[in-house]
A and B are shown apart, each in its own frame.
Chain A
């Protein structure tokens, strides 16, 4: 099993550009989420989904869009990149059971210039 797969690993964007970070899991997890990691701030939740067709905002959703058309995939879209979105992005999945451990992808390091 591959677990949670994120692509790309690294990305450099110019301000104003858009892009999609891909996330796929093969564990049949219903719950998927996106976090961003910034120095001194831990991981903060951007968006999450409790199943196909259902998404909701997390703590820091502005500037990001998500959709969930299948159980396996949960892409994160940056609509118009800003330097403040320079960060490391992690996708995670789990069973929907309360307290299930999150399984993380290996992360995408994004730099916006």
Chain B
């Protein structure tokens, strides 16, 4: 069975603080993909990043960075110098299903990030 755990239900920070959102996953598949999505207050779901299980390189995109560690089954997301516009719900998701079943993603419960000015 596949499972994604985002233990942090809600995080509040003050603008310019760094914040890390945790994501721990479970899967028996050796090939899988991990994703992060952002859901701002307007409600849409925005794709942020995809990482496959064979690529453990960390990724940085502007103020966003992602740390993938297979040894601890974690795919954590850090926002550096947070801004009010980063306030959103962030979802971590896992796809470990073979192609015959399509492209099913299993989502974590989400972490609400509130950035105060």
Q: Contacts A99-B52, A99-B95, A102-B47; is A40 near B104 (CB within 8 Å)?
A: no
Asked if A2 is at the interface (CB within 8 A of a chain B CB), the reply is no
Complex Cα spacing A34 to B66, Å: 28
Complex Cα spacing A106 to B42, Å: 9
Of the residues A44, A88, A96, A100, contact of B43 by C-beta under 8 Å:
A88
Q: Classify the interface of chain A: helix, strand, loop or mixed.
A: strand
Interface size on A, residues (CB 8 A): 30
> Which B residues, 24 to 63, have Cβ-Cβ distances below 8 Å to chain A?
31-33, 35, 37, 43-45, 47, 50, 52
Nearest residue in B to A44 (C-beta to C-beta)? Answer: B107
Asked if B103 is at the interface (CB within 8 A of a chain A CB), the reply is yes
Of the residues B32, B47, B97, contact of A103 by C-beta under 8 Å:
B47
Chain A CB count within 10 A is highest, among B33, B44, B45, B102, for B102
Interface contact A42-B104, CB-CB below 8 Å: no
Asked if B13 is at the interface (CB within 8 A of a chain A CB), the reply is no
